[in-house]
Chain A
């Protein structure tokens, strides 16, 4: 009898402890979810819950998702021109392009299909007067949507890896005075600053093009033109030794794309005019990505050429 009542008492105590455990566990979960959601809504890092006019919103290391959501309201509300292209353009300095407020849509490892999907988020809500469209073979080599780009939802702004990354960056720069690598105009700097070294490479493989990606790039430019956007093409620079290695392929790619794409002025950084830029190793961190010095110089050159092209 005593043993039975001891067991019953233990079971009752277990039951009481379990109830307490449940209340605490579920309570803390709800509290964390609620407060995190409230903070996310208040910070509204993608500008989709409140009026985004005049705000400075940055991306984070999950820039695909960030840019996808920023394009839904923030970009059309604050910018009237776009930079479109591959990762070799992500650290350009659009603030140097006078006369327009440029947003840099370029993505690290990005491709034409992703760029089209991004810009299509913004087009229904804004008018873009100018678009700089980069020409570099990597852009049209693939059409896969990376990082779950095809499944981005607005709810992600209420607490996701991407939004928490941005919130963290904002808090770090606000309270710890750590400058962010990501800027409100869509550009970001590269963390590393190394000087490229020519390296032995295998066969020339970069020119194999993906027809879906090529078609998407053409469609994107046509959609922009139909909406009244003026297009300026920029053939991205390459570090000279690397360019020499692939010169014929790159040039034939450029010729092919300029023929397929709607007509427009072309700023060609692979032409002889810019050989000195390409041979300076301090302008590059690898074969195509620019150092901050290179990005600075190139952006100033583009600004001059852009004004001329748009006259």
Chain B
């Protein structure tokens, strides 16, 4: 079920929100939260498995397995505690590889495999990349003593909670488990959080249905139909793809955060106006924040600790490795690995630049450089092969046709309809580069008439676009 669908917005979400409030009131303060939690767990299971019930088998296996491991960690003492943690992490990574990377690794080892050998196709459980990371973080938190493993019921509710199950934001158990008593909303703040959730959701819906899909059209045209684009056109198409991914994923995150808020749960923000960053380090502090936290805590730091010295050079190497792994996490393709490695090298250079106190780059140029570098990495992220991505990157500096606009002129008759999509493209660009983040808007939310008008207008326009069959699938669904 998609967040940007009527099935979700007009049916599933209202039923779950109203159901959870009613159950909480019906069963009173003692049993209400548990009854609501049970209802939400059932709703999450339906949300996850209604299209492909087999997914639930894979997810259940992961939930039960990790719950047992967490209990093992909790009970074990000394070295065996760490051994169980390592075994758990290896098993989780192996589980992810089994579904996601088996064919990729087999293609690299084709020379060693028997001729005609075919990797069995197991299908791809929706959200496996996200819930596997959630499980790894859960085990780590148990190991570090930050949480104590609860019941299987609690663990299953935590992992399957539908707002973040499929595409994040990645959440830590210690930030969620203690909120389970708030399912259905607390009496004294129920409508306040509900209103804020509706407002946040409306922003996300608009970002996804209107902005992301307008940029998706330009990017799809640029990456598939456009022929021999000039340098100018290549920049336009590259920026369009970058903004598509941003609005798509941040819109999705906003809808996830808004949905959770309506149910009384606060999940951490995932984006904070990333295109206002003036350095790559700052960009990653604002982009997919939950992933950045995971990379820093569970990839970069352990890698650095495993290296012989903690010098600037080894720190740079850790960054490169951590980002390479993060790139591969996005999918079994070299384009994603290069995406990660590019960002790893940007970050490493940025670190060295700062530590060595190299010449300061003025803010505007630093911002432009950051955007350009991020965009180049996104060209790899969005291309179907390294060859295509490299050709598109080279086209950014096409000396033969720097400013021709033949392809751009054809956009209008190739299905873009500028009179419809022109305004979202212009407004979306301004919002992305100079507008406030949704998080900030939701944080500053007050139940005023103006905010009511915003929510109504954003939702209604979002509805029209959703009903126009325009929305492209969420970019992050394939991860």
Contacts and interface: CB of A to CB of B under 8 A. Distances in A.
Interface centre among A16, A26, A62, A108 (most CB of B within 10 A): A26
A146 B414 contact: yes
- Chain B interface helix/strand/loop/mixed: helix
A164 B464 CA distance: 9
Interface string B366-391: 00000000000000000000000000
A288 to B, nearest CB: 13
A189 B335 CA distance: 46
Contacts of B467: 155-156, 158-160
Give the bracket for the number of chain A residues in contact with chain B: 35 or more
Interface stretch (B76-84, B158-166, B187-195): B187-195
Contacts of B464: 159-161, 164
Contact of A29 (B196, B225, B456, B468): B456
B191 A22 contact: yes
Contacts of B469: 65, 148, 151-153, 156, 160
Interface string B449-462: 00110011001100
Contacts, number: 91
Contact of A156 (B190, B456, B468): B468
Contact of A32 (B194, B196, B460): B460
Contacts of A32: 456, 460
Nearest to A32: B460
B259 to A, nearest CB: 15
Nearest to A165: B420
Contact of A161 (B413, B447, B456, B470): B470
Contacts of B225: 144
A25 B470 contact: no
Contacts of A108: 413
B198 interface: yes
A11 B459 contact: no
A26 B463 CA distance: 13
Interface string A265-285: 000000000000000000000
A33 B190 contact: no
A143 B455 CA distance: 40
22 contacts: A11-B189, A12-B188, A14-B192, A15-B189, A15-B191, A18-B191, A18-B192, A18-B196, A21-B448, A25-B456, A33-B463, A61-B419, A61-B420, A109-B413, A144-B225, A146-B414, A148-B469, A151-B469, A155-B467, A156-B467, A160-B464, A160-B469
Interface of A: 11-12, 14-22, 24-26, 28-29, 32-33, 61-62, 64-65, 87, 108-109, 144, 146-148, 151-153, 155-156, 158-162, 164
